[in-house]
Structure 1
Amino acid sequence: MLAAALALACAVLGWTCHRLAQRLRQEVEAQAARDAVRDQKFKELARCLEAYLAGSVRMGEELHELRRVVAPLPDKLSQLEQRDPSNLSFSQAARLVGLGASVDDLTQSCGLTKAEAELVSKLHQARKDHD
């Protein structure tokens, strides 16, 4: 009888071990699936971050180029204003741009060429953006 009870206990223990091993395999498989999803999300986030960084670098390069182009504008405007001291058209144009005048308005009212009017307008915009 003791042997039968011991055999029954061993059978129950064996069955329990088998069930626990099955559950462990299932949990390992589920964890592997979760790990795969996590790894895929990491890869996707890494690609997005790389794209954002590349965009930031390009934007910085373009900003640097714009600064290089805009930096000499105040000196150029001063040179243009000093070219003919009796003509106040550049000062007048600068005031009109500050009031919202367009390039066409400047060419008509101040006698500036289109290029000069665009220069005055861009200079004003650069100063406005800088402030």
Structure 2
Amino acid sequence: MLIASLVASVVALALCCVALLGFCIWLFRRQRQQAEAQARSDAVRDRRIKELGARLDSVLDGSVHMGHELHELSRTVSPLPDRITQLEQRDPNNFSFSQAAKLVGMGASVDDLTQSCGLSQSEAELMSKLHQARRKPD
């Protein structure tokens, strides 16, 4: 009876070992599947990071180019106010047009513009019509 009990215990222990071995094999396969899934996920993430890095480089290059263009444009435009002032001071006709615009705003007629500003009849009519168009934007 002791031998039968010992044999039963050994058989039970052997079955437990086989069950444990099966569980370990199942865990190993499961771990390998998860590692493969993680590797695929990592590859997708890395590819996306490279794509975003390339897009970011493209945007940065565009921004740098735009900055250079803006700087160049600013350099070109910055002297314009001074040049406009110089031209206004040199051109006597410009004064007539600005004076005519003020007079039209105060209600001067076309004849008043031709006499006081030295404008031609057509120039005076044009100034008058432009001012009327600004007053009536409807």
TM-score by length of 1: 0.66
Within 5 Å, give how 1:1-131 maps onto structure 2: 1-85=8-92, 87-88=94-95, 91=98
1: CA distance, partners of 2:86 / 2:11: 112
AA in 2 matched with 1:81: E
Root-mean-square deviation (CA, aligned residues, Å) is: 2.6
AA in 2 matched with 1:53: L
Which has more radius of gyration? 2
How much does 1:84 deviate? Answer: 3.7
Deviations 1:30-66, CA, capped at 9 Å, x for gaps: 0000000000010011011111111111111111111
Instruction: Count matched residues.
Output: 98
Deviations 1:15-41, CA, capped at 9 Å, x for gaps: 000010000000000000000000001
AA in 1 matched with 2:67: G
How much does 1:82 deviate? Answer: 1.4
User: 1:120: which partner in 2?
Assistant: none
Q: Which runs of 5+ in 1 are unaligned?
A: 96-107, 111-131
2: CA distance, partners of 1:12 / 1:58: 68
User: 2:106: which partner in 1?
Assistant: none
1: CA distance, partners of 2:61 / 2:97: 41
Q: Which runs of 5+ in 2 are unaligned?
A: 1-7, 103-121, 125-138
Structure 1 stretches of at least 4 aligned residues deviating more than 6 Å after TM superposition: none
How much does 1:109 deviate? Answer: 5.0
